[in-house]
DNA sequence: TATTTTAAGTTAAACGTTTAACTTCATGTA
DNA sequence: TACATGAAGTTAAACGTTTAACTTAAAATA
């Protein structure tokens, strides 16, 4: 690969002149500039960023550490991060921990998780990143690592629970509130919830929102209408039966997958979703448009979460930091489809 | 961030000694080595890769250019590339073109696509990558770009059609063959195909495989049993009706999404999949396990495609290149689920 | 004892840039 | 004519490493 020296030699000028011409820093005649540009083009010159960044002592690069890139929420978040980076002339480095592939559960095997995170962080720091984004649900386990102490750090998708570190995520409680309010607005008062496991913060927060919506609407909260599933389809199927027995006219399933179980249960028991039962899911995954009825759901602003994360990090890096810190909650939105709308059949 | 000079000063030795100690190159006493290691640890020293790679004149880094990271097949492929890189001590740089987000269709707007690819390649080359992987279906439009001429290049997921450039993809024809053979093995002879658009190579190759399987089994090919959809659910619904009218006992839907339309059609017309009709999809997406019946399908070895792509590229880079070139086809596998199996209901 | 070998270190150049400080020389001004 | 100005360039140091070539002195060998 051609370098400044090669160009300088051909043009018969010094390296400094070439550098100034190529970077448009002035002090070079127009004639010489044009000649240099033309030679650079001919040689297909591309600046060596290892040299440039070494000298400039900055990389304009941030690092993304993701627990697993194959999880459905990771790519849109990365996409959003990339969009903001591009806008600001930053680049990003991606380290995919491949936790699922490696069979590491950070909850059970803290040491392995720490080791693998440390390795990723070390690489990033060696690459002189200006800041780091951790994408995954175990950021709180990572916070105390010495390796991350000398860089800007931001958590995305989940809260790291440390008020001094920005966590950019979506507002589970508000989403739960909105889902319930939406169903209440359609006239429902007996609204069942198929929640996630009681150990899940997502689940608890969504539930709290649901309860607040009931309260605000003067509807008493009946704990028997809240059942905890395991996020999997079959638990949706099973719990649907119990809720329907209990007389609910609407179900808020805390993810789309369990809602598919509900749909199947209803079909088998001749309950027509839309007319006999309103159903709303959570996540807005692909299945929602493919199922029949199509599934109303809560859309998580994944792209925005990524975009906002990058913007907060880069603002911090550039010192124009607002004092944003702690949890930053983005709003979800309701996507209305057939499962909450009665569609008359032909 | 601490550097070699800082450590040298504290240890009272020269920079070279520190470098040798840290890299285990010998010529340093054990006592000194231990002291240096300890200081490095205290200072949280991390080598500056901009300096190291500049001096070493190699980066042990490859570049991945992906058309859109949010497409379902990209993340597992990237995962596979990452796995091989890690094994070989390589890193990768990711440039996500965000084609869908930017609204660029490479088929319609070649200039925009070229520009955006050139930008990505220039950055990668500036980062001194040793090679490049293009992940997406428009590699053939990229091949001629001058910017990529001075590096190793490999296409993944789709063929770039140039026999001198390795393309790592899956074997559509074999998959079509296997799907048909599987259904034939279950005793079906009237097997309908819901194909993709006739302009799609995937579709044509899968169809060819299907035809060969019929031929090998002595079953005449009836063109009326092949109908072209648009990959979307509704075309599956519609074409299912036509095929069932034509008397098929099995349907090979060339993607899972259209198969969902088939399932819905059958349900509405009291056709029981598994007993009255066998159905097989393609892609092995998440819906296959969530639908009822669960959908038999063809699994694409995405991880392996990535892994193999990286291995071929890195082998080339390191000169231990086998003469592998042109299309390298990996085999898909059949995933058997309820849609090709009669499950007696309770 | 004189010489060679070896271990443990140092020196300095190099990688490809950037950039502050300097030089040169044509032109304008007093 | 003498001097200041400014444009167009050059020189050289620096960024943080690596590494070949060198030095020194102690240990091994003859």
DSSP B147: G
Q: A64 to chain B nearest CA, in Å?
A: 11
Task: State the Cα–Cα distance between residues B99 and B92, nearest whole angstrom.
Answer: 20
The answer to whether B49 contacts A82, with C-beta atoms less than 8 Å apart, is: no
CA distances from B125 to A41, A59, A252, B129, B288 (A): 14, 16, 51, 6, 41
pLDDT value at position B320? 82
CA R_g for chain A: 26
pLDDT value at position A236? 97
pLDDT tens digits for range A289-318: 999 999 999 999 999 999 999 999 999 999
Residue of A nearest to B102 (CA): A83
Phi, psi of A93 (to 5 degrees): -110, 135
Local confidence band at A187 (pLDDT 50, 70, 90 cut-offs): very high
The closest nt to B28, taking CA to C1', is C8
pLDDT value at position A150? 85
Strands across the sheet containing A278-280: A226-228, A191-195, A250-253, A278-280
Return the residue in B44, B87, B94 with the most chain A beta carbons within 10 A, the one to mutate for interface testing. B94
Q: B1 to chain A nearest CA, in Å?
A: 8
Closest residue to A91, CB basis, from B51, B123, B233? B123
The closest nt to A54, taking CA to C1', is D15
- B53 CB neighbours in chain A (<8 A) are 50
Top-confidence residue, B320 or A204 = A204
Decide if B106 contacts B141 (C-beta within 8 A): yes
Footprint of strand D on the protein (CB under 7 A): A 12-17, 20, 27-32, 51, 54-55, 57; B 3-5, 15-16, 19-20, 22-23, 25, 45, 47-48, 51-52, 54-56
CA atom of A86 to C1′ atom of D6, Å: 39
DSSP states along A78-128: HHHHHHHHHHHT-EEEEEE--HHHHT--TTT-HHHHHHHHHHHHHHHHHTT
Residues 44-103 of A with CB under 7 A from strand C: 45, 47-48, 51-52, 54-56
Domain at A4-47: CATH code = 1.10.260.40
pLDDT value at position B107? 87
Q: A220 to chain B nearest CA, in Å?
A: 34
CA atom of B8 to C1′ atom of D9, Å: 39
Average pLDDT of chain A is 95
Task: State the Cα–Cα distance between residues B95 and B76, nearest whole angstrom.
Answer: 16
The closest nt to A17, taking CA to C1', is D9
The answer to whether A286 contacts B290, with C-beta atoms less than 8 Å apart, is: no
Task: State the Cα–Cα distance between residues B3 and A251, nearest whole angstrom.
Answer: 60
CA atom of A49 to C1′ atom of C16, Å: 9
Q: Where are the domains of chain B?
A: 4-47, 58-171+302-331, 172-300
Overall average pLDDT of the A210-233 stretch: 97
Could you tell me whether strands A333-335 and A297-299 are parallel, antiparallel, or unpaired per DSSP bridges? Answer: antiparallel
Task: State the Cα–Cα distance between residues B280 and B298, nearest whole angstrom.
Answer: 8
pLDDT tens digits for range A233-260: 999 999 999 999 999 999 999 999 999 9
DSSP element (H, E) containing A31: helix A30-42
The answer to whether A126 contacts B233, with C-beta atoms less than 8 Å apart, is: no
Task: State the Cα–Cα distance between residues A320 and B290, nearest whole angstrom.
Answer: 47
Decide if B46 contacts A126 (C-beta within 8 A): yes
The answer to whether A267 contacts B264, with C-beta atoms less than 8 Å apart, is: no
pLDDT value at position A122? 96
Task: State the Cα–Cα distance between residues A78 and A64, nearest whole angstrom.
Answer: 8
Closest residue to B48, CB basis, from A47, A70, A126? A126
The answer to whether A50 contacts B48, with C-beta atoms less than 8 Å apart, is: no
Residue of B nearest to A122 (CA): B46
Equal CATH topology for A58-171+302-331 and A172-300: yes
The answer to whether A70 contacts B75, with C-beta atoms less than 8 Å apart, is: yes
DSSP B283: B
- A79 CB neighbours in chain B (<8 A) are 69-70, 96, 98, 101
List chain C nucleotides near protein: any atom < 7 Å from a Cβ: 7-12, 14-21
Overall average pLDDT of the A50-70 stretch: 97
The closest nt to B46, taking CA to C1', is D16
pLDDT tens digits for range A144-183: 998 898 899 999 999 998 999 999 999 999 999 999 999 9
The pLDDT tens digits along chain B (346 residues) read 899 999 999 999 999 999 999 999 989 999 999 999 999 999 999 999 999 999 999 999 999 999 999 999 999 999 999 999 999 999 999 999 999 989 999 988 999 999 999 999 999 999 999 999 999 999 999 999 988 988 999 999 999 989 999 999 999 999 999 999 999 999 999 999 999 999 999 999 999 999 999 999 999 999 999 999 999 999 999 999 999 999 999 999 999 999 999 999 999 999 999 899 999 999 999 999 999 999 999 999 999 999 999 999 999 999 887 677 789 999 999 999 999 987 655 5
pLDDT value at position A325? 78
pLDDT value at position B344? 55
The answer to whether A287 contacts B290, with C-beta atoms less than 8 Å apart, is: yes
CATH of A172-300, one of 2.90.10.10, 1.25.40.20, 3.40.50.2300, 3.30.70.980: 3.40.50.2300
Closest residue to A128, CB basis, from B50, B82, B257? B50
Other CB atoms within a 10 A radius of the CB of residue A54 amount to 19
CA atom of B16 to C1′ atom of D21, Å: 13
CA R_g for chain B: 26
Task: State the Cα–Cα distance between residues B116 and B125, nearest whole angstrom.
Answer: 14
CATH architecture of B58-171+302-331: 3-Layer(aba) Sandwich (3.40)
The answer to whether B257 contacts A287, with C-beta atoms less than 8 Å apart, is: no
DSSP B13: S
């Amino acid at each position: 690969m051609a370098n400044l020296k090669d160009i300088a030699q051909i043009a018969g000028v010094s390296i400094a002149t070439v550098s100034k011409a190529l970077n448009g820093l002035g002090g070079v005649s127009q004639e010489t500039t044009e000649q240099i540009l033309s030679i650079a083009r001919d040689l297909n010159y591309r600046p060596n960023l290892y040299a440039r960044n070494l000298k400039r002592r900055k990389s304009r690069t941030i690092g993304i550490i993701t627990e697993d890139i194959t999880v459905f929420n990771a790519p849109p978040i990365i996409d959003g991060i990339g969009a903001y980076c591009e806008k600001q002339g930053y680049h990003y480095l991606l380290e995919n921990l491949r936790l699922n592939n490696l069979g590491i559960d950070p909850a059970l095997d803290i040491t392995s998780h720490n080791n693998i995170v440390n390795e990723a962080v070390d690489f990033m720091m060696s690459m002189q990143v200006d800041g780091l984004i951790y994408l995954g649900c175990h950021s709180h386990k990572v916070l105390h690592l010495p390796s991350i102490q000398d860089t800007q750090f931001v958590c995305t998708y989940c809260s790291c629970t440390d008020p001094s570190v920005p966590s950019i995520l979506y507002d589970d409680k508000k989403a739960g509130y909105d889902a319930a309010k939406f169903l209440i607005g359609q006239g429902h008062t007996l609204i069942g919830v198929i929640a996630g496991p009681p150990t899940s913060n997502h689940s608890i927060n969504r539930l709290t929102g649901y309860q607040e919506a009931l309260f605000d609407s003067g509807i008493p909260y009946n704990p028997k209408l809240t059942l905890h599933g395991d996020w999997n389809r079959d638990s949706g199927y099973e719990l649907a039966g119990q809720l329907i027995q209990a007389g609910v006219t609407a179900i808020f399933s805390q993810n789309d997958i369990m809602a598919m179980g509900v749909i199947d249960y209803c079909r088998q028991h001749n309950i027509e979703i839309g007319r006999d039962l309103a159903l709303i899911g959570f996540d807005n995954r692909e299945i929602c448009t493919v199922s029949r009825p199509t599934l109303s759901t809560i859309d998580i602003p994944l792209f925005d979460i990524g975009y906002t994360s990058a913007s907060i990090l880069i603002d911090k890096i550039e010192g124009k930091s607002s004092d944003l810190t702690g949890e930053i909650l983005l709003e979800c939105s309701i996507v209305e489809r057939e499962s909450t709308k009665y569609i008359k059949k032909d």
